[in-house]
Amino acid sequence: MGRGLVWRVGKALAYRSLWMSGGMAALRRMNRRRVPVLCYHSVIGSPVHPYVADGGLHIPVDSFRRQMEFVQRRYSVVPLEEVVTWLRGERDELPPNALVLTFDDGYADNLRWAAPILDAFGFAATVFLTTDHIDTGDPYWWDALNSIMGSARNPRAEVIEWGEVDLTTPDGVADLRRKGAALLGSVSLERRSELLARLAESCDAAASSDEALRPLTWEECRGAPPCIRFGAHGASHRLLDSIPHHEAEEDLSRSGSLLANRLGDRYTPVLCYPDGRSTQRIRDDLDSLGYRGAVCASATAGTDRLARHDDDPAAIPRLGVNANISGVVFAGNLAGVQAALSRRRPRQASGGSRR
């Protein structure tokens, strides 16, 4: 049995044991002054293609509702802005067991499926928008790539700039995803479209038209219920640590200015780093770019943790919520189990990124 499998089995047993023994409730009480800032992406009303579902970003609406029912029983949901003011030293404290809800990227399903549930519970939430995608109807590059893989009629091809493609094996699928992250993560929307179109043509794949994967429109944002506010996720979801600093500044400045102009007081000047990646120079420049704070999303779930009073408001930690986690794991992560266990996790290479 490999070390990774031993770790996963041991982790599952630890969560179950803590739940049954009452240790999870004790840990939650111990961490009542720390804040789980939850990182969601998409909440879906019907299944998506298995390739698209693979990354765990698209959570079924029934699962999301059950999670919010748990949150209502155990936590006090506060707006993200209150945590930012707390970390900036502009307020002394938050309610015990405070919790924050955030959504990355700006999927249309955030308002169609998640917002009515949030509104019914009276929960505030912040949706981070990738502004160049608004009104386009085009899927984000990771969903587009997975859709191509799922509809490819020619699973083996040699593609310019992509190299050899082989979708007949799990290793080949994983390799194409790695190539996609390397080729698409830091380039412009136009360049992404070119690369994806070339791949789709070579693999004889159909273009994605899945309504579940489209971004929000400006009209939908302006019509969102009052519990929803909007933050910035960059203009084009370029990885800020992989592009020249002046381009990163231009991207972030353009995104924030557009949101302020289009959404007025529905916009909160907090940034979500695309894929959680930034540089110290960007973090240092946040105030001059018009942002009061920024949230992170770690590349691996093992490095997620609760926010503390001494955290940098330019690097607020979050807890990623994967579509595949159980109710026990969800409860444990909010209580701080994941952060405690991650300190004992065996060192290994990252298996991918989270958007």
**Domain residue limits, the chain:** 3-136+214-342, 141-202
φ, ψ (nearest 5 deg) of residue 143 = -70, -40
| pLDDT value at residue 352 | 38
* Pairing status of strand 125-129 against strand 76-77: unpaired
Q: Which two tokens stand for residue 46?
A: 């019907």
Work out the burial of residue 60: count CB atoms within 10 Å of its CB; fewer than 13 is exposed, 13-18 middle, 19 or more buried.
Answer: middle
Residue 103 sits at the vertex; the CA angle it makes with 30 and 271, to the nearest 5 degrees, is 90
Residue 344 sits at the vertex; the CA angle it makes with 322 and 170, to the nearest 5 degrees, is 45
Outline where 88-217 has alpha helix (H).
Answer: 109, 115-121, 141-151, 170-184, 189-202
For 107, residues 6+ apart whose C-beta sits below 8 A from its C-beta are: 41, 42, 43, 212, 213, 214, 215, 216
Q: Is the pLDDT of residue 12 over 80?
A: no
| pLDDT value at residue 2 | 57
The model's confidence at residue 217, banded by pLDDT at 50, 70 and 90, is very high
**Class of the domain covering 3-136+214-342:** alpha beta
Residue 257 sits at the vertex; the CA angle it makes with 252 and 260, to the nearest 5 degrees, is 125
The continuous run of DSSP H or E covering 157 comes out as strand 156-159
The model's confidence at residue 196, banded by pLDDT at 50, 70 and 90, is very high
Q: Which two tokens stand for residue 285?
A: 């420049």
242-276 burial code (b ≥16 CB/10 A, e <16): ebeeeebbebbbbbbebbbebbeebbbbbbbbbbb
| pLDDT value at residue 353 | 44
**Contact status, residue 296 vs residue 304, Cβ threshold 8 Å:** no
- Among positive and negative, which fits the CA dihedral 117, 121, 125, 131? positive
Q: Is the pLDDT of residue 159 over 90?
A: yes
| pLDDT value at residue 17 | 83
Q: Is the pLDDT of residue 23 over 90?
A: no
The model's confidence at residue 348, banded by pLDDT at 50, 70 and 90, is very low
Q: Across residues 275-297, what is the average pLDDT?
A: 95
Neighbours of 155 (CB within 10 A): 16
**Contact status, residue 92 vs residue 111, Cβ threshold 8 Å:** no
What pairs with residue 35 in β-bridges?
A: 307
| pLDDT value at residue 5 | 54
d(CA 129, CA 103) in angstroms, rounded, equals 9
d(CA 259, CA 278) in angstroms, rounded, equals 20
Task: Measure Cα distances from 83 to 95, 100, 232, 270, 324 in Å.
Answer: 10, 8, 17, 11, 28
- Among positive and negative, which fits the CA dihedral 39, 45, 47, 52? negative
Neighbours of 79 (CB within 10 A): 17
| pLDDT value at residue 338 | 79
d(CA 202, CA 158) in angstroms, rounded, equals 8
The model's confidence at residue 209, banded by pLDDT at 50, 70 and 90, is low
For 30, residues 6+ apart whose C-beta sits below 8 A from its C-beta are: 336
d(CA 294, CA 307) in angstroms, rounded, equals 12
The model's confidence at residue 349, banded by pLDDT at 50, 70 and 90, is very low
Q: Across residues 149-156, what is the average pLDDT?
A: 96
Q: Is the pLDDT of residue 300 over 60?
A: no
Q: Across residues 237-253, what is the average pLDDT?
A: 97
pLDDT digits (tens, 9 = 90+) for 73-88: 999 999 999 999 999 9
| pLDDT value at residue 343 | 59
SS3 154: coil
Q: Across residues 189-218, what is the average pLDDT?
A: 91
